[in-house]
Structures are given as C-alpha cells and as structure tokens.
Chain A
Amino acid sequence: MKKAAALLLGTALLTGCASGSGNTQELAADAEYFTYPAENVTAFDVSPEGILYTAEGETDSVLCEYDLQGGRTELAGIGGKSEAIACFDGSVYYTQPADNGTEIYRFDVQGGQTEELCGLDGFYQVRNFEITSGSAYILGVDDSRFGVQGTYSDEFGNYSYNGERLMKISLDSGEITGSPVEFPQAFSVLDGNALVYAADENGYYFSDFDGGGKSYNDLGNITAVELYDKDKIIFCSDTLIFKLCSGSVNQEDGIAEMLENKIVLNGNDIRFEGGFGFIYNRYGRFDGGGMIERFRAADYIKENNKIRFISAEYTFDDPFGCGYIIEQQKLDNESFALTVLSQDSNYDMCIINSEQDYSGNIRNKGSFYPLNDIEGVAEYLDKCFPYVKEAAYTSDGEIWMLPVLLNAGAVYYSPENCRSAGIELSEDMLFSSFIDQCKTASRSEFSSGYSVHCYQLTQNMLFDYISGHDSFDTEVFREFAAYAKENANISAFPEYMPITNHAENNIIFGTGEESFLFGYIRDGDWQKNYADNESFRAYPAPKLEPGTKNTVTCAFITVNPSSSNLDASLDYIGGLAKHLSQQENSLILADKSLYSETDYMTDLYKIYENGRICFNVSSEIIFDDYIKYCSGETDLNSLITEADRKLTAYLNE
C-alpha cells in the first residue's frame, strides 16, 4: 500500500517535471562550496539563473540580489521585515506581517515597481513561500487552527503542531485555496507540484497538496525540505541533528548525510537551483542569524551509492555519510571472521575498534585495501597526532586504515568544588589514589556529585595493563588486583563507586554544576560535550604505573579489497578523510587551532596528545576470571596462573 502510494506520488511528480524546465541547467558557479557575504538576512530565494535574492534587516528592510560570485546589489527598500520571499518570472514576491495577518507583495526587478498582491487575514509566521507554474504556496500559522491538537506524538517528543496551514494562491486570479492536509510541517514545490510533509495519527508522511498519495516514513520532524529532482529531496530533520541530508520521498534508497554542522530551521531556508543547493545555516550563531551557503550537489549527493559497513559486536554510530547512504551491519565474531575471510564482496568496509582482538590481525593478514593513493587520506593522517599516524601505516608503508575516533579515559572535574570537598586529583594519579578520592567524595557533602562507573573503570584498567604487558605475573598487577578486590570490587558494587550512566550524569548537571565534583569516562564524544565549559578541567585516567602514556583506543575503518563497490568506497574514504580533517574538537587532529580555547579542552588535548594505541588482546581474556577472583571463587595466584595461561595461548597459538 505504501509502495503504491509512493509510486503514485512519484508518478505525479514525474509528470509534473515533464512540463517544466526544472533544475536541470547547471549554474556556472566555480566553487564547490561558497558562503555569500549576506548579513541580517530574513529570507532568501534563488532564481533559475542562480541569482540570489534576499530580504535583509529586521526594520527598514531591503531587497538585494547577489550574483554567483557573491557581488551584492541593493534592489529596493521594502519597509518592514519580510518573513519569506520567492522569485518567479522576473519578479520577487515577498511576505510581510501585517496587523491582521500577512500581506504579499510583488517587486518587478526590471521595472523596480512594487505592488501589493493580496492579504491573508489571520495568517501569521510564514515558514515557507514558494511559487511554481503561476501558483504561490505559503505555509504559516492560521489563527483558526491555533490551539488545535496534533494527533501524532513521536517517540522523541519533537512533534508539535502550532496551527500551521498550507495555502495556494493563484497569481492570475488571486484565488486562495487551503490545503486539506491537516497538520503540515513543511513543503516544497517543483514544476507545478507541491510536496507536503505532514503528520497524522499514523506518523509522518509525504503527500501532494490535496493530501493524496500519502507516503509514510521515519524521517522524524523535518524542519525544512526541498524537492530537487522527481521524488528526490534535501532536508533537515530533528532525528539527524545538525546535518543536511538527501533521500527520496519513498525512502527506498535510504538517507544520505551530505553536510554536517548545519542548522536549517525553516522551509524557506533551503533551496535548490541548477545543480546547487542553497541553505541558510544558523549553526554556531547564537544571535538568531546565519549565513547563506551554496554547495555543488554533485559533490555531496552520490546517487544510488550505498556504503555497506560491517562491524563485530561493536556498537558505533554510523560514520558521516559524505553524500553516501551508510548501511551498517553488526555481526557476531564468527560471522564477522567468516565474512572477512571469505572475501565477501557484499560489504565495503569494516569498522573496528583497536581494543577488539582481530583489529591488528586485519593489518597483519593483509585484509585491507591500501589507502595510500586516495586523495586526502595521507594529508589527513599528517594532521593527526603522530602516534595515530604511525598506527595507520603498516611496516611496509601502506595505509591500512582510516582512524575516525579516539577514546582515552579522562577524569573531568570542577576544581573549585573539588577543593571545597577536599578532593585532590592529579595528573599522574594512580588507580589506588583515585579510589581514595572516590571514598573522600562519597563522605563529602557533594556525595552525589561524582560519577564513576566501577565496572568500566576496572575494565579500562585491565585493558591498560594488557596493552603494556604480556604476563599478569607482575608486582603491578598483583597490587592492582588485590587493591581493587578490597576497594573497588565490581562484584560487590561499593557505595563510593556508584554505577552511573549518562542519564544520571545529566541529572547531576541538571541540578546545577555547583554540586558537581568529578566524573570518569572513556568516551571521547561524551568528553567533548563540555568543550566550551569554562569551569571544568580534565586529567588523564588513573594509571597502574606512573609515567606511562595514556592508553587510547581507536575506532577505524578498513576498506574491503574484494568489495563490489570499490570505486565508491574509495571515493567515500577520500571524502571522509577530508571531512575529518576539518573537524573541530576532534581529539584526533594535532592542530591546536581547531580546538576550543577553554582550559578543559586544552587539558583533553594534552591527554590525547600523550596517548598510545595498542592492537592487542582484549581485556575479555581475563575478565571472567577476574570476576571470579573478586567474588572469592578463586585466589590471586590462581587468577594469575589462569590468565597467564590464556594470554600465552592467545599470543602463541
């Protein structure tokens, strides 16, 4: 049924396309990515020739036009603020709020005259305004619909209906028609057809202006959508935060992430003309403003190309799509090994973490496609911390993997609160002294203000140990095991080592930073959440031996040399390398200028800079025996004998 509806909708759109010129003529713009020098923009639109029209200024607004190189020409003053503009047939149509609703004007670019087209009583807050084939479509808040409850509630609680309504105005007769779609969110027009995004009790869907040809999807709350070719769309959704994505109305091919760090709030903030996309990007702007950016679609939308990842018992957020549709399959260890060894051509890449057993074996057994000749990869590695670069090369000088994320244990803390509570953390903190500080914290007035996951800490300590030793029969391990059993026993969950998770961390911060002492975490992405926090600092994770480097785990990508989609895979890798080399606060790049200038971020930078990556046996090899030891089922000597036996077998079989 859904397919039939999508087909119907697609056919309708296709038929519509045939009658108009559409967006087929590529604009003569050079740059792959361009930012217009437009300021105080309240609305914009682009003509088929690529001329950018803007309304600028909250009061005493002006209409302007920009050529493809960004050259600005002021066209006319329009008085008050314009919420949306649309250019059509040599004129710029713009909306302005009025006392009793919204008024629409037409400005003749050649003649320089302005005339009022019509007024929409009780119609406010225009979200999008577009014209096609002599009809203007406008989405705004209809007074008569205000207060009506939407019938849908999405799982993220993002959906809210505020009285939006879609109207169609005939430019010839001035006739105004309301769309029967009850809860519209966004719309786009192309070649005489309107594509409406709305919600009903069954979820979000696309339909035509009359509500026909419903095609349900799971794109979530779309803030802006632009139809650019037949049933192909560019959109911004709450479920793919800060990303500009592309896909199709029926979602048959999946969703491709095109650009990151983009906030496009209104339907009027996204346009497509002549092979180029135009967005009004508000990312990083806290004054409500933004910049108009233009990108060449062919560089960011890779049609019909899916990149298929496999991973083994490892959860990793999909890497950035770079215009490709990312499909990730999480396999169990056996299936993963079988897929890799059988040279399956149905997967393109592996995503692995260096702490997984076979991470180094992929390199040792040559099951990777060398990335040396891929543009941007070597350059990216040159920008990474030296030890990351070293890990990415084999002894023969081949680039066997692309590092995408580092995780190093860190203790983030509030210096002021720690001082008040008598907590003394330090850079060369040993495991035992860190546990002592946890005990002190648990007795302090801030007893709920720290977050240490005992299980995770222990596992990390074990991994840290294995990364530097090939035997457990050492004084360091004996001391650690004995102390941990007594003071941080994971089978007993001591009160001063609370099992917490991120949600509980949020509660801690939700109650205010005044009660926060410190937290331990090894998730690099989580650590970055406080990048701009002025009152936090960070120390490396506690160690088992003084003076050792920080153990860092690295998530990386390898390309399947047998992939049936090798060309696209290599193109993707090149794109991803370029994308990663521009990341801010990446904790993988050595360029300090790419990091926030807070003390906290400087501390984190130092932690990651002083790291080491080991491709070694996983701490799982000892973990079961360690738990038995903690619960008293076995003694320390037996634990060491058993763990050594397994480790020796692993390393030598």
Chain B
Amino acid sequence: MNSMKRHLKWNTKCGLCLLPSLIGTAIFFVIPYLRVLYYSVIDNQFRRNFVWFDNYIETLTNEYFLLALRNSLLLIVVCVPVLIILALVISLALSYGIKWVRRTRFAFVLPMVIPTAGIVLIWRGVFAENTTVLPIYLLFIWKNIGICVVLLTAAFTSIERSVYEAARLDGANSFTLHIRITIPMIAPTVLFVTLLSIVNSFKIFKESYLFYGTNYPPDHSYTLQYYMNNNFLKLDYQSLATSAVLTSILVFGIVMAGMALQRRYNR
C-alpha cells in the first residue's frame, strides 16, 4: 500500500514536472496544428463554410504543388545521401586524426556561423552561368554539413577504445571492426542526422530565395516552401493550410519509416 502511494506520488511529481513542457507544446504546436487542420477543410477563415476535402483535392491536383512536391522529394533523394556520406567520411577522418583534415576542421562548421546572405552573394558569383539546380543542391549540402560532421564526430569519438581492443584480441580486422562495431554503434546517430537533414531540406527556402531573388525561381528549384509562401502572400490560407498538412504528413511518414528501420536494425 505504501509502495503504491509512493508510486502515485512519484507519478504525480513526474507529471507536474512535465506539465510546463506539455502546456507549451499544446499552445505552440498542437493547438495551432489543429487550427491549421480546421482551416484546411473550410472555404475561408472569415466565412468558415465546411468544404471538407475540396481544398485537398484542389491542392493535390494543382500542377505547381505537384512540381514543388517532386522537387522537394528530389532534394531529399539526391542531397541527403550525399550529405550523409560526405559527413561520415569527414567525421571518420577527423576521428582518425588525419592531419590535413584536422587542420581544416573549422571550415566544416563555418557555414553554420556565416550569414546566409553573405554565402548567397558568393554563390551567385560562382554559379552565375549555371542554369541547373546544382547551386541549390550544393548550397544545401554546404550549409548542413557542419552540424552533420559535429554530430557524427561525436558519435565516433564516443565509441570506447576498449571495445575495439577487445575485438582485435578476438582476431577482428579493420573491415570487420567497422562493420561489426563502428556502424552499429553510430547507426542511431546516422539515422538522427538523416532525419534532421530531411527536415532541413524542407527549409531550404531562404537560401534559394536569396539566390534567385524572386518568389518564382526556375521550375527545378520551386519547392514546397515557395508554394506555401506564395499562397501566404496571396492571402490564400486554404492552399497554405492544405499544403502544410500534406507536408507534415509526408515528414511524419518519413520519420516513422526511419524509426521503424531503426527498430528493425536494433532487433
């Protein structure tokens, strides 16, 4: 009985500690999201007539939404793997202590501190003649590589040396060490970094906007952020709300898939 009381007390204490955070999440995330959901099923926020899924049908059949969706997914498919592989290689080099990589390590975190407008100016000069999507892809990789390297290097260095030494004593070679020890131990961080990069890929708007200087970039660089931003400026809240909901479902789906993958790998 006493133990149960103590348990209840403990649960109450935990609940109270969590309460501020839960209230904050409800006020700043849950309630606004529910409101966006509501706005996505009405004709406009002033008259508020329910149109149910008409807005979704309209958005999903809009050629520019589909174009934006395609470009955003393409950015994930192309850039995120490149970014992760590059970050892994650099992190590995840093944790192995390769001299020239160590000397230039500050360069990898530099993009995180340089203002975007400054970077874009240089980018515009370098890629003045380029009419492909390459500058935006490179800008995304360059901008995000710093945080990926920091996180992955931390993951590498957190692996205990004794684990490697024990494996070596058991006769493991370098390849086996990486396959059997390094990769499994850094896998959660890799997954986290991948998800973080995917989320960041949806936010590559400011850089792109500054690079092209217009709300209407070339078709290959027209992403979901442009679609939403332009509809916002046109006061079309319903298109904005439906595309935001659809984007959130997409991101949620990717995160869920990533977590399922991790669980499967851990088993």
Contact = CB atoms under 8 A, between A and B. Distances in A.
A366 B219 CA distance: 31
A358 B44 contact: no
Contacts of B219: 645
Interface string A632-653: 0000000000000110011011
Contact of B44 (A334, A366, A646): A366
Interface residues of A, number: 25
Given A645-B219, A646-B214, A652 B64 contact: yes
A652 B236 CA distance: 12
B235 A649 contact: no
Nearest to B226: A653
Interface stretch (A90-98, A335-343, A518-526): A335-343
A333 interface: yes
A341 B237 contact: yes
Interface in A405-420: none
A50 interface: no
A653 B44 contact: no
Nearest to A334: B233
A154 interface: no
A368 B44 CA distance: 11
B142 to A, nearest CB: 26
A357 to B, nearest CB: 7
Contact of B216 (A337, A365, A645): A645
Nearest to A653: B64
A242 to B, nearest CB: 37
Contact of A649 (B213, B216, B236, B238): B216
Given A341-B45, A621-B216, A365 B231 contact: no
A361 interface: yes
A361 B237 CA distance: 11
A333 B233 contact: yes
A566 to B, nearest CB: 13
A652 B62 contact: yes
Nearest to B65: A653
A104 interface: no
Contacts of A368: 46
A337 B62 contact: no
Interface string B209-245: 0000110101100100001001111111110000000
Contacts of A358: 233-235
A561 B45 CA distance: 11
Contacts of A367: 44-46, 235
B235 A337 contact: yes
Contacts of A646: 214, 216
A624 interface: yes
A389 to B, nearest CB: 23
A5 interface: no
A362 interface: yes
Interface residues of B, number: 25
B213 A365 contact: no
B46 A357 contact: no
Interface string A341-381: 10100000000000001100110011110000000000000
B47 interface: yes
Contacts of A652: 62-64
Contacts, number: 63
A650 B232 CA distance: 12
A650 B234 CA distance: 9
Interface in B173-231: 213-214, 216, 218-219, 222, 227, 230-231
Contacts of A624: 213-214
Contacts of B236: 361, 365
B235 A341 contact: yes
A343 B46 CA distance: 8
Contacts of A337: 232-233, 235
A472 to B, nearest CB: 14
Nearest to A368: B46
B35 to A, nearest CB: 10
B64 A649 contact: yes
Contact of A357 (B65, B213, B227, B234): B234
Given A343-B45, A367-B44, A646-B216, A362 B222 contact: no
Contacts of A333: 233
B229 to A, nearest CB: 9
Given A343-B46, A561-B46, A650 B216 contact: yes
B235 A362 contact: yes
Contact of A365 (B64, B214, B233, B235): B235
Nearest to A358: B235
Nearest to A561: B46
A646 B216 CA distance: 6
Interface in B19-64: 43-47, 62-64
A523 B218 CA distance: 35
Nearest to B233: A337
Contacts of B43: 366
Q: Which of B45, B46, B237 has the most CB of A within 10 A?
A: B46
B230 A653 contact: yes
A361 B216 CA distance: 18
Interface of B: 43-47, 62-65, 213-214, 216, 218-219, 222, 227, 230-238
10 contacts: A337-B232, A337-B233, A357-B233, A358-B234, A366-B46, A645-B219, A649-B222, A650-B216, A653-B62, A653-B65
The 8 closest A-B pairs by CB, nearest first: A653-B64, A646-B216, A361-B235, A366-B46, A366-B44, A365-B44, A649-B216, A361-B234
Given A367-B45, A646-B214, 18 more contacts: A333-B233, A337-B233, A337-B235, A340-B235, A341-B235, A358-B235, A365-B235, A365-B236, A365-B238, A366-B43, A367-B44, A368-B46, A561-B46, A562-B46, A624-B213, A649-B64, A652-B64, A653-B65
